[in-house]
Each structure stands twice: as C-alpha cells, then as structure tokens.
C-alpha cells in the first residue's frame, strides 16, 4: 500500500518536473490499466489527475475513477467510458465523438463546449453539470439520461433521442431541440426560454411549471403532454398537435395557436391574455372555462367539431408504439 502511495506521489512530481516538455506520465499510467489507476486513487486522495489536452482516443476507460480530473480539451474519441466516474471533472471542450458513455457519472462536471456527436449516453448522469454550448446532436442516444438541474443553455440537441430523460429544473435557454425525441421526458420547472422544439416529439412529456417564453413548438407533437401551471408567453404553437394535452392553470400570454389542434385539451383554469384562439384548428371535446367556451360557440362553432385528420386517425390502429429512433450502436 505504501508503495502505491509513493508511486502516485512520484507521478505527480514527474508531471510538474517535465511539464515544460509536454510529457505526462499520468497518461501512460492511465493507459496501462484502469484497475491499477483506480487503486492509486484509492490510496492517495490528494492525487489530482492532470490529463489536459491528452489524446485518449479509443482507450478502454471503463469504470475509471476520473473524479475531479483536469481533462480540458482532451480527445476521448471512440473511448469506452461506460460506468466511468467523472464527477466534478473539468472536461471543457473535450471531444467524445463516438465514445461509449453509458452509465457514466458527470455530476457537477464542466462540459462547456464539449462534443458528443454519435455517442451512447444511455443512463448517464449529468446532474448539475455545465453543458453550455455543448454539441449533442446527430443521433446521440440520451435515453433515460439524468440532466436534473444541468445547464444546457445554447446546447445543440437537434434530433437527439431523449426518451424518458430527466430534465427537471434544467436550464435550456436558447437550446436547439429541433426534431428531438422527448417521449415521456420530464421537464418540470425547466427554463426553455427561446428554445427551439420545432417538429419535436413530446408525446406524454411533462412540462408542468416550465418557463416557455418565446419557445418554438411549431409543428411539434405534444399529444397528451402536461403543460399545467406553465408560463406560455409569446410561445409558438403553430400547427402543433396538443390533442389531449393539459394546460390546466397555465398562464398563456400572447401565444400563437395558429393551426394548432386542441382536441380534448384541458384549458380549464388557464389565464388567457392577448391570445388569439380564432386560428385554432379544433376544440373538439376540449375542456374550457365557461367564458372561453361561450366565445368559441359564438364565434367559431365549427371548431367544436372533430378535426377531419383526427377522425381519420381514429379509424386506424393506434395501438402501435411510436417509431423508435435507432441508437448509435444499432445504427452501426
């Protein structure tokens, strides 16, 4: 055990001694085997890995203990980091392209500007992590990933698979989620100010209490979703499908529902201010407060009839599950 402590101390001193020569023995130590690396970390808690700028492409780092490590600008392309511990690590600008990150722990890590294209992140944890301006597009598998309280401001999640993901209280300001698959995701109390969810699939998604200022849901599928108590200010729902969605108690300020389907939607208790409902496609079987219902009956009684498109769908077999987006591994 004392030998391991001495080894860790020697490596730490060696990094300092040869830093100017761009030689880092810690890299060789890590590459020599995760088991040995983890044992060194166990016996010497003061050992702080400094692997900034290292090329760890394709390296097997499964279950590696990299907590608090400096991995800024590191290349981890194609590496296996499944089950790795990266809590509090500095991974700013790191490249994870094509890496296996399933079940990895990134809690409170700095991942600003990190690159995750084509990765498998299923079941990974990013609670409280900083992913501002990170790239997670191009079929990244984020199924059941935990982003609770994470900062994803300005991140690129275009077409990402986020089914069942936890984004409670997450910061998603100006985040690009166009075409993302968010079926069953949990976004309660999330900040989606200025976020782009155009043509996203939010079937059954929970957005209760979320901030949706200038959020773009144009053409999105919000069938059966929960937007109860959410703040919908200048939100764009043009051509969105809100069939069976709950907007119960929501604050709706100058939102755009042009061409939106509100069949069987629940708007009871919602506060509607400067919101034009004349261009809504259908209110068939919608639950509306008496004042709103009277307005619809008087001005647009035809909107209380079933939307022809929905009538056609009801005649089809809707029992099949939504088409699944292939994961990175399945696409290979």
Summarize pLDDT for 291-300 with one digit per residue, the tens: 889 989 998 9
**CA–CA separation, 148 vs 170, rounded Å?**
6
**CA–CA separation, 223 vs 273, rounded Å?**
23
**pLDDT computed for residue 20 by the predictor:** 39
In degrees, rounded to 5, the angle at the alpha carbon of residue 99 between the alpha carbons of residues 93 and 103 is 100
HEC string of 262-302 equals CCCCECCCCEEECCECCCCCECCCCECCHHHHHHHHHHCHH
Q: Contact at 8 Å (CB) between 283 and 296?
A: yes
**CA–CA separation, 112 vs 304, rounded Å?**
48
**CA–CA separation, 180 vs 139, rounded Å?**
9
Q: Contact at 8 Å (CB) between 41 and 64?
A: no
Return the SS3 of 14: helix
**CA–CA separation, 18 vs 32, rounded Å?**
20
Q: Contact at 8 Å (CB) between 184 and 207?
A: no
b/e burial code for range 160-191 (CB count within 10 A of at least 16 → b): bbbbbbbbbbbbbbbbbbbbbbbbbbbbbbbb
Measured CA to CA in angstroms, residue 39 lies from 43, 52, 119 at distances of: 6, 21, 28
**CA–CA separation, 101 vs 129, rounded Å?**
15
Write the pLDDT tens digit of every residue in 193-232: 999 999 999 999 999 999 999 999 999 999 999 999 999 9
**pLDDT computed for residue 259 by the predictor:** 96
pLDDT per residue, tens digit, the chain (332 aa), is 555 555 555 444 444 443 433 468 999 999 999 999 999 999 988 898 999 999 999 999 999 999 999 999 999 999 999 999 999 999 999 999 999 999 999 999 999 999 998 889 999 999 999 999 999 987 789 999 999 999 999 999 999 999 999 999 999 999 999 999 999 999 999 999 999 999 999 999 999 999 999 999 999 999 999 999 999 999 999 999 999 999 999 999 999 999 999 999 999 999 999 999 999 999 999 999 998 899 899 989 999 987 767 655 655 544 444 444 444 444 44
**CA–CA separation, 142 vs 154, rounded Å?**
17
**pLDDT computed for residue 46 by the predictor:** 87
**pLDDT computed for residue 315 by the predictor:** 53
Backbone angles phi, psi at 31, to 5 degrees: -70, -25
Q: Collect all residues with Cβ–Cβ distance below 8 Å to 252 and sequence separation of at least 6.
A: 232, 235, 270, 271, 272, 273, 275
**pLDDT computed for residue 307 by the predictor:** 72
**pLDDT computed for residue 2 by the predictor:** 53
């Amino acid at each position: 055990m004392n030998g391991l402590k001495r080894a860790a101390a020697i490596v730490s001193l060696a990094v300092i001694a040869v830093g100017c020569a761009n030689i880092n023995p810690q890299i060789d130590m890590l590459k020599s085997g995760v088991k040995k690396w983890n044992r060194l970390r166990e016996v010497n808690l003061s050992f702080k890995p400094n692997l900034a700028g290292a090329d760890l492409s394709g390296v097997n780092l499964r279950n590696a203990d990299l907590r608090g490590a400096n991995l800024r600008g590191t290349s981890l392309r194609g590496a296996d980091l499944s089950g790795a511990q990266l809590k509090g690590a500095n991974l700013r600008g790191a490249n994870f392209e094509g890496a296996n990150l399933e079940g990895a722990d990134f809690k409170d890590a700095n991942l600003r500007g990190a690159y995750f294209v084509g990765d498998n992140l299923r079941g990974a944890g990013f609670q409280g992590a900083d992913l501002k301006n990170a790239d997670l597009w191009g079929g990244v598998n984020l199924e059941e990933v935990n982003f609770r309280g994470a900062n994803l401001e300005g991140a690129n999640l275009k077409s990402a698979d986020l089914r069942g993901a936890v984004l409670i209280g997450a910061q998603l300001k100006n985040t690009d989620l166009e075409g993302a698959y968010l079926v069953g995701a949990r976004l309660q109390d999330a900040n989606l100010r200025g976020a782009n969810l155009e043509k996203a699939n939010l079937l059954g998604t929970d957005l209760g209490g979320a901030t949706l200022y200038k959020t773009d849901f144009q053409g999105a599928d919000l069938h059966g979703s929960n937007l109860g108590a959410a703040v919908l200010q200048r939100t764009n729902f043009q051509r969105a499908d809100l069939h069976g969605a709950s907007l119960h108690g929501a604050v709706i300020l100058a939102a755009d529902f042009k061409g939106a389907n509100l069949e069987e939607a629940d708007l009871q208790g919602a506060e509607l201010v400067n919101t034009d409902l004349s261009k809504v496609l259908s209110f068939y079987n919608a639950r509306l407060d008496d004042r709103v219902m009277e307005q619809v009956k008087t001005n647009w009684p035809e909107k209380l009839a079933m939307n022809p498109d929905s009538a056609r769908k009801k005649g089809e077999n809707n029992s099949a599950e939504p088409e699944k987006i292939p994961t990175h591994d399945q696409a290979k």
